[in-house]
Structure 1
Amino acid sequence: MRRLWAMVLLLVHGLAWAAPGDVRRFPAQGPMHAQLRVQGSTDLEVFGAVIQDYQRLHPGTEVIYEDVIAWDIYDHYLHPGAGAPTADMLISASMDLQTKLVNDGHALAHRSAQTEVLPAWAQWRHEVFGISYEPVAIVYNTRKLDAARVPRTRRQLLALLRAPDAPLRGKVGTYDVERSGVGYLFATQDGQVGSIAGALLAALGANQVKLEERTGTLLDRVSRGELLLAYNVLGSYAQARIDAGAPLGIVQPQDYTLVALRTAVIPKTAPHAPEARRFLDYLLSPRGQQVLSREARLMPILPSAGGRGGSAQPPFRPIPLGPGLLVYLDKLKRRQFLEAWRASTQPPR
C-alpha cells in the first residue's frame, strides 16, 4: 500500500510540476492574508507535501515555489532581471553558495526557540540553517547491474570502471559540475578528502561519463537502464524513487560517505521576511521535521524526527557549514578546478 501511494504521489506531482524551473502557486486555503515566495533547488515532487502541510497550519498563506537549480538561485539573487519577483527564502543543498551569500552580507539573521536547539554544525552565524541532511550516494539499476559487481567503495568503483569488459562504458553518469551547484560542491569535497579522486575522474572520462545538471534526470536515466550507475548523487531522491517501485539501489560508500546539508537562507531583500521566519521555524519544528522525513523522504536534522538510516551506518563525513566552504568559490581556484575536471572527464576522443 505504501508503494502504491508513493507511485500515485510521484505520478500526480510529475503531471502537475513538469519541468525544472517551473513556478508552482499554492493558493491560500482560506482568506489570504500573507504570501511567501520560495526559490529552491529541491524538486517540487519532493517538497510539495511540505508546503501543503505548512498551509494546514497557516491556511491564509499563499506559497509560491520556484524550482531553480542552485547556481541560478545564487545568480538570480545577485543579478535579478528587470521586474523579476524577489524570493523570501532560498533553499539549496549547495552549502557553499548559500554560505557565500551569508558571508557577503546578503542574509537576515534569525533566532528562535527552533533555531536554538539546532546542532552547532547545522547553522552558521544564525543566517544559514540546515533543514535536512543528505548522504551522497552511488545509485545503480538493480535489473541491469549484477549484484556481485555493485561497488561498495570508491576503489571498487574505480576497479569496475577499469574492468576489461568495460561494463560502464557510456553507462555511467554524474553531475555536470559546471552547471550543478551540488555537483561542484561534492566534486571539490572529493578532491579534498579522497585519495583517488583524480584517478576516479580520469576513469569516468575514459568511460564516456554522461553529465547532467539535475538529480532527477540522472535518476530517470538510471531507472530506464540508459545508465547502469550514477556517482555522487543525492540519496534521498533515489529513496523516493525506490519507494515508488523504481529498479534502483543505493550505496553509501564504505570508505566515506559525504553528508551535505539542505540549507535555508532568508535574504535581506525578502519582501515578506516575517512569513519567511515563520516558515523556517516550521521547517525546524518537530512537525516540520517529521513531514520532511515521512513525506519528502529527506533526512531530518533533529534526531527526534527519525531518519531513514538503519543502525549500521557507513563512515559519514559531514560537510561543515562555515568559511571553509568558500575556498573553491574563489574565481581562480574555481577556474583551475573546472579546467582540471574538464580535462579528466572530457578527454579528446
Structure 2
Amino acid sequence: MHRVCLVVMLLLAPGAWANPGDVQRFPAKGTATAQLRIHGTTDIEVFAVVIEDYQRSNPGVEVIYEDIITQDLHARYLLDRNAATSPDLLISSGMDLQTKLVNDGHALAHQSPQTAALPSWARWRNEAFGISYEPVAIVYNTRALPAARVPRTRRELLDLLQAPGAPLQGKVGTYDIERSSVGYLLATQDAQRGSMAGALLGALGSNNVVREERTGVLLDKVSSGQLSLVYNVLGSYAQARIDAGAPLGIVEPQDYTLVMLRTAVIPRTSPHPQQARRFLDYLLSPRGQRVLAREARLLPIVSDGTVREHGPGRSRRPIPLGPGLLVYLDGLKRQQFLDVWKRSVGPAGEARPAQPQNSPSR
C-alpha cells in the first residue's frame, strides 16, 4: 500500500511532469472582448485550424491553447485549478482521466441541442463529451513490410511476432503504458476484451518491443524504417502523415478495433465558463465537425448531420464514457496491472532474449 501511495504522490507532486506544455496565443481578430484558455492533448498544429475557424465567427475572442501530454494535463489541473492560468476547457484523449474528473466533482454540467445529439456512449452526466472519434490501429511501413505479411487481426500479429527468423525483432513498437495514459487505457481495454492479450504482450516482449510515450515519436520511427510496425496507436495521426506522403499503411484489426474519444470537460474552476460552453457547442456543431474532419483530419462524431454510431467497419468497438473507465484507475489495481505488463514486455530499455522459434534455422 505504501508503494501505491508513493506513486500517486509522485504523480500529483509539483514538477511531476517533465516539461511544461507548448503554449500558443491566438489574438482576437477584432476588438478583444473575451478570452478562452484551453488545455489540450491534441497537437497545436492540428488544432490551430479549429481555433482559427472559430474566431472567424467570434472575432472578439482571444484563445490561449496549451498542448500538454495526457497525464500531465490531468495532474496539472488538480494542482493548479485555482491559479490565475486555470483552464476554461480541458480537451483530452485520456477519456478515463476525464471521467475521473467528472466523477470527483471537478466538472460543470452543460446541456444544449449539440450535446443532446451525441450518442449515449459519447457523453456522461452532461459533463464529459466526446468531440471526435479515434479508431486505434496497427500502423506499418509499406517499404519494410510486404503487403502479404501485414497482419489484419491480433492473431495474425501474434503469428508474425512468433514467425521463424523473428522478422519483427527490435522492429515493433507500442506505447509505454507507464508513461502514456492513452497507452495504459488501451492496454486495459485489450485485457478486458481480448482473450489473447497476455500472449500478445509476451510476444511483443520477446521481440524487444520499443516503447514510447507519444504517438508522434512512434510514427517518426516507423516512417523512417527504424520500426516496421507499431501496435495500438491513434489512426488519425498516421493518416495525416500518409496524406503528406509518408510510406505508411493503416490496419484496423478485423477481430475488433477499439475506438477512443477525444473528450471535452468544462472544469468547475473555469474563469470563463460561458466561453467554454460556446466553444464546445461550436465543436459539436455541423460546422465544427466539418472543420475537425476536413482540416484537422480528426474523425467527427456527427457526420453530415448524422450521429456516428459505430462508423465504417463492423469491427469498431467504441469505448464508452462512464464509470467503467474508473476501474483501472484505482491505485492498487493500476500497480498490479503495470507489474504484470512489465513482467510480460521486460524492463524498459533492456533487451530480452528472443524466444526459441519452431524452426531450427537462425
Say yes or no: TM over 0.5. yes
The answer to whether the Cα contact below 8 Å between 1:293 and 1:307 also exists between their aligned partners in 2 is no
Match of 1:252 in 2: 252
SS in 2 for 1:208: coil
How far did residue 304 of structure 1 move?
A: 2.0
Change (3 A) 1:281 1:173: same
Q: Report the CA distance between 1:306 and its aligned residue.
A: 7.8
Within 5 A, what are the aligned runs for 1:66-215? 66-80=66-80, 85-215=85-215
Deviation at 1:94, TM superposition (A): 1.2
**For this pair of structures, how many residues does the alignment match?**
331
Structure with larger Rg: 2
Partner Cα distance (1:29, 1:225) in 2: 43
Q: 2:80 is paired with a residue of what secondary structure?
A: coil
Equivalent pair of 2:137/2:235 in contact (CA under 8 Å): yes
Contact 1:34–1:61, Cα closer than 8 Å, also in 2: yes
Mark the runs of 5 or more structure 2 residues left unpaired by the alignment.
Answer: 1-18, 353-362
Q: What is the identity, as a one-letter code, of the residue corresponding to 1:326?
A: L
Change (3 A) 1:86 1:177: same
The residue correspondences of 1:31-46 to structure 2 (distance < 5 A) are: 31-46=31-46
What is the aligned-residue RMSD (CA, Å)? Answer: 2.1
One-letter amino acid of the counterpart of residue 97, structure 2 = L
SS at match of 1:173: strand
CA–CA distance in structure 2, aligned partners of residues 87 and 137 of structure 1: 31
Letter in 1 for 2:128: V
Deviation for aligned residue 1:165 = 1.2
Which residue type is aligned with residue 157 of structure 1? L
Match of 2:270 in 1: 270
Output the amino acid matched with 1:162. Q
Give 1:83 shift.
5.4
* Secondary structure in 2 matching 1:163: coil
Secondary structure (helix, strand or coil) at the match of 1:79 reads helix
For 2:303, the equivalent position in structure 1 comes to 303
Query: Aligned partners of 1:132 and 1:60: how far apart in 2?
Result: 26
> Structure 1 residues 201 and 20, CA, compared in 2 at 3 Å: closer, same or farther?
farther
The answer (yes or no) to whether the contact 1:300–1:306 under 8 Å persists in 2 is no
8 Å Cα contact 2:81-2:269 kept in structure 1 = no
Unaligned runs of 5+ in 1: 1-18
Equivalent residue number for residue 288 of structure 2: 288
**Mapped pair 1:343 → 2:335:** no
How far did 1:257 drift?
Answer: 0.3
CA contact (8 A) 2:89 2:276 kept: yes
Worse-superposed segment, 338-347 or 194-203: 338-347
SS of 1:179 mapped into structure 2? coil
Change (3 A) 1:149 1:334: same
**How many percent identity over aligned positions?**
70
- Asked if 1:219 corresponds to 2:219, the answer is yes
Partner SS for 1:233: strand
2:234 is matched with which residue?
Answer: 234
Q: CA–CA distance in 2 between the matches of 1:83 and 1:304?
A: 40
Tell me how far apart the structure 2 counterparts of residues 337 and 218 of structure 1 sit (CA, whole Å): 23
Deviations 1:270-297 (A, max 9, x none): 1111110010000000000000011111
Task: Measure the CA separation in 2 of the matches of 1:307 and 1:217.
Answer: 33
TM-score computed with the length of structure 1 as normaliser: 0.91
Moved more, 181-190 or 82-91: 82-91
Please state how far the C-alpha of 1:210 moved relative to its aligned partner.
Answer: 0.8
User: TM (normalized to structure 2)?
Assistant: 0.88
The letter for the 2-side match of 1:260 is: M
C-alpha displacement at 1:344, in angstroms? 0.9
Following the alignment from structure 2 to structure 1, what is the Cα–Cα distance between the partners of residues 111 and 193? Answer: 33
Given that residues 173 and 230 in structure 1 are in contact (C-alpha distance below 8 angstroms), is that contact kept between their aligned partners in structure 2? yes
Q: 1:45: Cα distance to partner?
A: 2.1
Q: Is the 8 A contact 2:174 2:232 kept in 1?
A: yes
**What's the CA shift for 1:179?**
1.3
Cα distance change on mapping 1:93 and 1:171 into 2, 3 Å: same
Matches within 5 A, 1:4-83: 21-80=21-80
* Amino acid aligned to 1:202: G
Whether the 8 Å contact between 2:286 and 2:303 is mirrored in structure 1 is no
Supply the AA of the counterpart residue of 1:124. W
In structure 2, relative to structure 1, the CA distance for the partners of 1:150 and 1:37 (3 Å cut) is same
* Paired AA for residue 148 in structure 2: A
Shift of 1:80: 2.2
Q: 2: distance between equivalents of 1:117 and 1:311?
A: 16
Displacement of 1:341: 0.7
* Aligned counterpart, 1:332: 332
Change (3 A) 1:307 1:139: farther
Q: Which amino acid aligns with 1:272?
A: H
Query: Which amino acid in 1 is paired with 2:212?
Result: E
Deviation larger for 277-286 or 55-64:
55-64
